[in-house]
Amino acid sequence: MFLNPWSLALSLCSLVALVLGAVAGRTAVRVLRFWEPGSDSNRQIRLENEIWLSSTLVAYGLGFQIITLILFVLAADQFCQVIVGAMCATGALLANPYGMPALLVKLVGIFFYGFWILIHQLDIRSEHYPLVRIKYLALLLLLPLLVLDASLQTLYIAGIKPDIITSCCAVVFGESAGDATGNLITGLSQQGLLAAFLVSLAGLVLAGFSLLKRWRPWLAGLYAVGWLWFFGLSLVVITSVISSYVYAMPYHKCPFCMLKPEYYYFGFALYGALIPAAFFGASAALAGLVRGKAGLRGVVDRYQQLAIKISLVLLLIFSGLSCYHYLKYLISGGEG
Amino acid sequence: MAQRNLEKQLNILDYALSSLWRRRLKSLSLLLVFAAVIFLLASFQMVTQALTDKARQVLVYTPEITLQKMSVGRQEAIPLAYREQLAGIFGIRRVVPRIWGYYFDEVRLANYTVMGMELGEMPEGARLDTTLSGGAMPGTDERGRVVIGQSIKKALALEGRTTFSLFRPDLSLTSFEVSGEFSPDTDIMTNDLIVMGLAEARDLFAIPAGLVTDLCVYVANPTEIETIAKKISATLPSVRVLTRPQIQKTYQVVFGWRSGFGSICLLTALAAFVILAWDKASGLSPEERREIAILKVLGWETSDILAVRFWESVLVSGLACLAGMTAAYIHVVYFAAALFRPVLMGWSVLRPELHLAPRIEVGNILLILAFTVLPYLAATVIPAWRSATVPADSALGG
């Protein structure tokens, strides 16, 4: 179903991102081949100029990918109106086997582009550009991800036929266990999930504060891993516990519907806090990996402190947002 | 550190604004063209959305299942006797026969939609009483009484009179008395509508007894619609079975398809604009080269100049978006999308007046941004980099 404004916009964005990626990739190959920090040849000066271009392009690419991620979910929400049986984005994304992988690749992609920009920002803070080779090797590794993203998305759009029967979110994420259609997150008890969520949250806060007091590399590593775990766990908890409080319906469990205007775009605030928080939490340890390079010590230390602080603040916002509907339900008995 | 960074970006934004102002003719021409492109795309998007909403609104009143008899690939009158064959299917609340067609008024050169139904037989909730602005629906034993829509009232120039006449196919006259009129709120479907009893409609169109144009099947449980439709088509194979969700999806696909097709056509305009933007951004005048060289001598870095260019692009596209989308909204709401209506509706000349009210949603704005602003930003980034890396010495020396 390409003849639809949403599919066209998505394809256009992917195409633009691919072109930008290709141009940046060209620079990457040249830098890897000809980079000589000590030289003052014409080629070296040109390359030093091109570094600016490629980093700007990746920054644009990141921005575009964030927009396409949102656009993709919203487009799926539109597609559901023409797919038999689908009632929201969940059904539309499950309409063929490429929907969910495309969404996952987009989400993972945002983290990787973000990490690349972080490495670049650290690199240009030092006069010696110590990370140039690593950076451009990483850029070349990002390109396949970009291609994968675009291909999955194209396959997904091509595979949407308005006649396919799919499941709505009440079936996919609901509690109707033993159903032949399969359920994505059965077998997880709500209490257990909530307990794990709260324990992880407390653990992250503790680790964060102790890192702010004294920096220990092993704890930073643990903090990063903890954030990745917490990110995955939060997505499950949002789907199976928090979402039904947001919708004020016990059987409506869906991570996408809360992005709609009916729920005051609550999902944007929730995910808008969670995703950057996970990024900053995980990136502090990543920045620590390049701390040993020439001229980066001070820069990395400053960044790490900042990243931990930002991740803690966002964590606070995220936990506040995720408790809001629950507390409202406890205090005022939910929606009138 | 964060505050210093913010201050720096604000200063750069300030510089970008003044730089746009210095080249105001060039910026303004670009802005106008961009706004025009956004206007076209946004109007298309808004009309599609408003029409889809409208269609959904209208379909609320249609019966869950409509049965039409097909013969030689065309629709023809359906025998009332078919109702008995449906009696054995569980879940059907009621089957209401209907005569539904168009009456061409040769005197006033207008088309009226005529709907004849056994009004008393319609199930609660599907009745049309709630849509009346005055009068009442004709009772079951009242003959010759009708309810009319707003533009029929205007076309017949009733002005206080309550009776009017229409021609039968053999040109003899039959007269009607107006017992009520539909409110303007439901204009999209009742504007050109005359509702009467089944017997009057049969008389007006000279349809033989025992035949109607279609049968409306009301279903008690909406989740059973598909199953009941399947059973009906198994029982009556010569009948075309239309379900409400099916009609709704068809509308959606058609509107989506048409708007996608329109967007593809508009993509050419977008491509032309992107080329224009690229060209404008890459053709650096000697003054601009000197300006950048001076900035560099003063200590600006390549990234700062890139930031200036970025802010310039964001300002231009933001203003163009604001102007284009506002114009599109006005076009759709106050001019009923006069430019695009034929493309999206395009089947009847005699349409009621349309009042389209597009919803402004974040999703739609984002869609329009993705269509227009992203390609523009991408098109200007490479020229911006070229201009930012002008070597200071050559530009000043030349």
Of B364, B230, B383, residue with least CA distance to B309? B383
Nearest CA in chain A to B247: A82
Of B44, B267, B366, the CB nearest to A67: B366
Which residues of B fall within a CB distance of 8 Å from A125? none
Mean pLDDT calculated for residue range B86-104 = 87
Q: pTM for the complete prediction? A: 0.81
Q: CA–CA distance from A93 to each of A153, A186, A266, B20 (Å)?
A: 11, 19, 21, 44
pLDDT at B348 over 70: no
pLDDT at A187: 56
In this predicted structure, the answer to whether residue B62 has a pLDDT above a threshold of 90 is no
Q: What is the pLDDT of residue A335?
A: 57
Chain B residues inside the 8 Å CB shell of A1: 256
pLDDT, position B143: 81
- The per-residue pLDDT for A72 is 92
Contact B315, B17 (CB under 8 A): yes
- The more confident residue out of B249 and B98 is B98
Q: List residues of A whose CB lies inside 8 A of any B CB.
A: 1-10, 12-13, 16, 19-20, 23, 49, 52-53, 56-57, 60, 64, 67-68, 70-71, 74, 77-78, 81-82, 84, 124, 162, 261, 265, 268, 302, 306
Note down pLDDT in tens along chain A; length 336 residues. 787 888 989 999 999 999 999 999 998 999 889 888 888 888 888 888 888 888 889 888 888 988 899 899 988 888 887 776 677 788 888 888 899 999 999 999 999 989 998 988 888 888 778 888 888 999 999 999 999 999 999 999 998 877 665 655 655 665 444 343 344 555 567 788 889 999 999 999 999 999 999 888 899 999 999 999 999 999 999 988 888 888 888 778 888 888 888 888 899 999 999 999 999 999 988 888 888 887 788 889 899 999 999 999 999 999 999 988 888 888 887 554
d(CA B291, CA B312): 15
User: Sorting pLDDT into bands at 50, 70 and 90, what band is B124?
Assistant: low
Min Cα–Cα distance to chain A from B190, Å: 26
pLDDT of residue B33: 92
Nearest to B191 by CA among B200, B199, B182: B182
d(CA A2, CA B38): 21
Question: If you ran DSSP here, which 8-state letter would residue A61 be given?
Answer: H
With contact defined as beta carbons under 8 Å apart, do A108 and A141 qualify? no
Looking at beta carbons, which pairs linking B349-352 to residues 24 or more positions away fall under 8 Å? B350/B110, B350/B111, B350/B192, B352/B151, B352/B187, B352/B188, B352/B191, B352/B192
Mean pLDDT of B191-211: 88
Give the per-residue pLDDT at A14: 93
Please identify which residue in the block is written with the tokens 């006005």: B330
Q: What is the mean pLDDT of chain B?
A: 83
Look at residue A10 in the predicted model and tell me its pLDDT: 93
Chain A positions in Cβ-Cβ contact with residue B48 (cut-off 8 Å): 5
Rounded to the nearest angstrom, the minimum Cα separation between A195 and chain B is 35
* Selection from A163, A157, A164 nearest residue A8 by Cα: A157
The span from the CA of A14 to the CA of A150, in Å, is 6
Which of the 8 DSSP states describes residue A216?
-
Instruction: Give the pLDDT confidence of B351-366 residue by residue, as tens digits.
Output: 555 677 788 888 888 9
Residue B19: name the closest of B321, B292, B378 by CA.
B292
**CA-CA distance, A269 to A284, in Å (whole number)?**
23
Residue with the bigger pLDDT between B254 and B200: it is B200
Chain A residue with Cα closest to B41: A5
Instruction: Note the pLDDT of residue A320.
Output: 93
Q: How far is CA A318 from CA A177, A242, A275, B292, in A?
A: 30, 12, 10, 44
Does residue B39 register a pLDDT over 80?
A: yes
pLDDT digits (tens, 9 = 90+) for B249-275: 777 777 777 777 888 888 888 888 888
Higher pLDDT, B223 or B324: B324
Considering only the beta carbons, identify the residue of A5, A53, A302 that sits closest to B367. Answer: A5
Structural Rg of chain A based on CA atoms: 22
| Contact criterion met (CB < 8 Å) for B389 and A49 | yes
How many Å lie between the alpha carbon of A265 and the closest alpha carbon of chain B? 9
**pLDDT of A180:** 38
**Token output for B289:** 């080269």
Q: Is A169 in contact with A88 (CB distance < 8 Å)?
A: yes
Residue B382 and residue A68: Cβ atoms within 8 Å?
A: no
Contact between B97 and B212 (Cβ < 8 Å): yes
CB contact under 8 A, A52 and B369: no
**Which residues 6+ apart lie within 8 Å of B87 measured at CB?**
none
Candidate from B256, B303, B371 with C-beta closest to A12: B371
Q: Is the ipTM of this complex over 0.85?
A: no
Residue in A280, A234, A275, A239 with CA at minimum distance from that of residue A257: A239
Give B28's pLDDT tier (boundaries 50, 70, 90).
very high
- Average pLDDT for B92-112: 86
Q: Which chain A residues are within 8 Å of B310, Cβ to Cβ?
A: 56
